[in-house]
Chains A and B, each alone.
Chain A
Amino acid sequence: MAESTVKRRKRGMSRLERKNTLIAYSFLAPNFLGFAIFTLVPVVCAILLSFMEWNGGSISAIKWVGLDNFAEIFKVEKVAEKWAEGNYFYFFNRVDLGIALKNTVFYTVVTVPLTLVCSIALALALNKVKGAVAFRTVFFFPYVASMVAICVCWNFMLMKDGPINQMIMALGINFNKSWTADSTMAMWAIILVSVWRSMGYYMVIYLAALQGVPRELYEAATVDGANKWQQFLNVTLPQIKPTTFFCSIMLIIGCFKIYDTVAIMTEGSPGRATKMLVTYIYDVAFNQIKYGIASAISMVLLILVLIVTVIQFANEKKFANV
């Protein structure tokens, strides 16, 4: 019965309807064409390349190698061998991909909540304060400033005798080394710069969200005797939940794709301490000229981002509705 309705509808599509449909498609076309040429086709090529061997040069040199690239990046044999010896962490401690994965996940897990907390705090502080516009501009500024300039400046500030270390020393903590030259602190330097850079942007989004929280709710809460903190926990936070959902998705995906900060500040050093998935992909693709293997690594990244996105959207109703 439903089928026949559809059929009738199709047949019954008037000229006007058809015309409107065509107009709609024509509006979509420019965007879709751009997407197809610059995103869809490269993505499909990358998926195919991840099963092939290609070290640049002529296209005739491309060879189908099946899952070899994945065996290579996961160092399957070596990892299995070490596992049998009882060395269970070999993959995450010694294999490039394992290290890059570990670093990227650590970076994401720390950066996302930290950025969210900082931007909510900033938004609350600047919601109803005098001169808010000026402050908002100041905090938003890093987001529009050149990444290279930002990273170079931070590199200077985080140097051995730089201002940040001097402050730390003044607090009585003995740390006398360039942050980017220290295996542990290099990662924190990158987290610090990332949070500092993007919190202004998310602050603006939160500011908009805060405007949308109905006043009556606060009034009601006040009448019920809730203090400011309780109001924040029980009124503000639930009300801005959809924004938090949006921000966290954007942040997580952005964090997995971290590249520029690392490339400028540390180049993955010292050693492999700040090697991330994308810097690893870059190295394999454009220094080692192994497009097949680089594509295989990018598939790992794709799957990771996909998993996160699927989990988030599956729970969208729970997270995104007030």
Chain B
Amino acid sequence: MLSGGDTSDIFMVKENLDVMKWAQQGFAKPLTDYIANSGFDMSGFVGMEPNYAVDDVQYALPFRSDFWVLFYNKTLFDEAGIAYPTNDMTWEQYEALANEITGKSSCKYGAHNHTWLSAVANFAVCDGVNTLLDGEYSDLQYFYELALRMEASGAIRPYTEVKAANLHYSGAFQTGDTAMMPMGYWYVATLINNRKEGLYDFDWGTTALPHKDDVPAGSSFGNLTGVMINKASQNKDLAWEYISWLCGPEGSQVTAATGNRPAWVSSEVADVLASVEGFPADENSKAALIPTQVSIEIGTHEKLAEIQTVLNEEHTMIMTGEIDVAEGIEEMNERVAEVLE
């Protein structure tokens, strides 16, 4: 469409790779001047906006982001008489909490890890420094060891069983025997709907993802959807006015009111999201909607898919215990280096 000389004013970007492609092909209007001239404050994007910049030139604004949070089953914690998880929990505290609640009253598993690569490896990118594309994966070691340790202690379901049974994460959490589960924000809508439909019956809450000691609390990761301005547009100034409203402090509240999670982070957005019927009423759950920093799940690279294939394959090797963590990391380093050659 774009190569056909289309003059639509703005367009949405689903894949990050498209930003790079369209910027190179000259379809995207650079936004850097607009941002400087209008004094648009990007702090509400909590670190997401550089994902839409090529060589320091901003080409798009983040519009939506379903970053990850920690879901927990309040009913199980109440029954066990254990305090709820908090927004500033470290991964060690999370592990200890999971171990503590496992086996108490009707809690069979202290936590649930889905089978995805992102449900282990991506916790490492929350620090905003590491990425899954840099070809160096020693930063994942901590999280693989954590996952395997929790498996060994019985705090989470074994990966192999979850995989063989094709257990969906909603199935795992909604059976009501699982105390905590890290998952993307999109699961909130499912949880609210499923409760209305009577598919489960317990109270739940959300907190920020746990963090490592040296990473600020409230750091998360997620995917992005963005908006760009067409270089061929006849109304570029108007288009900027619109997208800076849409993605900024005001438009994001409107987006939130439609039940979607805007990329913009503010207490106003959190208020709107928390006012949705069925969303947990406590202050902690609302605070979890205000992350301090959001990193991208997996960035942009021309060999992205090949790297993902390698990481996924080695992920299964580590999680099934076919090779130990150190070997797995070494394999990831070596094989991704071959892809990048």
| Of listed B306, B316, B321, residue having the most chain A CB within 10 A | B316
The reply to whether B316 and A159 contact each other, CB–CB distance below 8 Å, is no
Taking the complex as formed, is B322 at the interface, i.e. its CB lies under 8 A from any CB of chain A? Answer: yes
Tell me if A152 counts as interface (CB < 8 A to partner B).
yes
Q: Which residue in chain A gives the minimum CB-CB distance to B334?
A: A94
B42 within 8 A of A: no
Instruction: Judge if B158 is at the interface, Cβ distance under 8 Å.
Output: yes
- The answer on a CB contact under 8 Å between A283 and B314 is no
Query: Which residues from A are CB-within-8-Å of B305?
Result: 287-289
| Chain A stretch 210-236: residues in CB contact (< 8 A) with chain B | none
B55: chain A residues within 8 A (beta carbon): none
* Cα–Cα, bound, A58→B164 (Å): 39
Query: Are the C-beta atoms of B313 and A155 separated by less than 8 Å?
Result: no
Question: Is B309's CB under 8 angstroms from A287's CB?
Answer: yes
The reply to whether B313 and A268 form a contact with Cβ atoms under 8 Å apart is yes
* CB–CB A183/B313 < 8 A: no
The answer to whether A283 and B309 touch across the interface, beta carbons within 8 angstroms, is: yes
- B3 in the interface (beta carbon within 8 A): yes
| A-contact 0/1 string along B317-329, CB 8 Å cutoff | 1001111000000
Dominant secondary structure of chain A at its interface with chain B: loop
In the complex, are the beta carbons of A158 and B313 less than 8 A apart?
no
Nearest opposing residue in chain A for B160, CB measure = A181
A182→B341 CA distance, assembly (Å): 31
Minimal beta-carbon separation of B236 from chain A (angstroms): 26
**Is the Cβ of A159 less than 8 Å from the Cβ of B313?**
no
In the assembled complex, how far is the CB of residue A21 from the closest CB belonging to chain B, in whole angstroms?
49
Residues of chain B contacted by A156 (CB below 8 angstroms):
164-165
Cβ of A102 under 8 Å from chain B: no
Select one of A181, A270, A288 contacting B306, CB under 8 A.
A288
**Cβ-based interface call for A271 (8 A):** yes
Among B166, B321, B322, B341, residue most surrounded by chain A Cβ atoms (within 10 Å): B322
Contact B164–A159 (Cβ < 8 Å) = yes
Is the beta-carbon distance between A181 and B3 smaller than 8 angstroms? no
Name the interface residues of B47-103: CB closer than 8 Å to any CB of A: none
Greatest chain B CB density within 10 A among A156, A183, A270 is at A270
Please report the C-alpha to C-alpha distance between residue A272 and residue B309 in the assembled complex, in whole angstroms. 10
Which residue of the partner chain, among A58, A181, A272, A288, contacts B313 with CB atoms under 8 Å? A272
User: For B41, what are the chain A residues with a Cβ–Cβ distance below 8 Å?
Assistant: none
Interface positions of A from 154 to 180, Cβ below 8 Å from B: 155-156, 158-160, 177-178, 180
In angstroms, Cα B309 to Cα A289, docked, is 12
Q: Assess whether B161 is interfacial by the CB under 8 Å rule.
A: yes
Nearest B-chain residue to A189, judged by Cβ: B164
| Contact residues in A for B159 (Cβ distance below 8 Å) | 181
Q: Does A309 contact B (CB under 8 A)?
A: no
Partner of B164, one of A180, A268, A287: A180
Which residues of A are found within 8 Å of B166, using beta-carbon distances? 152, 155
Residue of A nearest to B308 (CB): A287
Q: With A155-B164, A288-B309 given, is the CB distance from A270 to B338 under 8 Å?
A: no
A155 CA / B167 CA spacing, docked (Å): 12
Which residues of chain A come closer than 8 Å to B301, judged between CB atoms? none
Q: A58-B3, A78-B338, A287-B309 are in contact. Are A270 and B164 (CB under 8 A)?
A: no
Residue A269 lies at the interface, judged by CB distance under 8 Å to chain B? yes
Q: Report the Cα distance A78→B341, complex, angstroms.
A: 10
- CB of A160 within 8 A of CB of B322, answer no
Q: Looking at the complex, which one of B3, B164, B309, B338 makes contact with A178 (CB distance below 8 Å)?
A: B164
Can you report 13 A-B residue pairs in the complex whose CB atoms are below 8 A from each other? A160-B164, A178-B160, A178-B163, A181-B164, A182-B320, A182-B322, A269-B313, A269-B316, A269-B320, A270-B316, A270-B320, A271-B313, A271-B317
User: Lowest 5 CB-CB distances: which A-B pairs, in order?
Assistant: A181-B160, A269-B316, A288-B305, A271-B317, A181-B320
Q: Which A positions have Cβ atoms within 8 angstroms of B?
A: 58, 78, 152, 155-156, 158-160, 177-178, 180-183, 268-273, 283, 287-289
Additional A-B contacts beyond A159-B165, A183-B317, A271-B313 (11; CB < 8 A): A78-B341, A155-B164, A155-B165, A155-B166, A180-B163, A183-B322, A268-B313, A269-B320, A270-B322, A272-B313, A273-B322
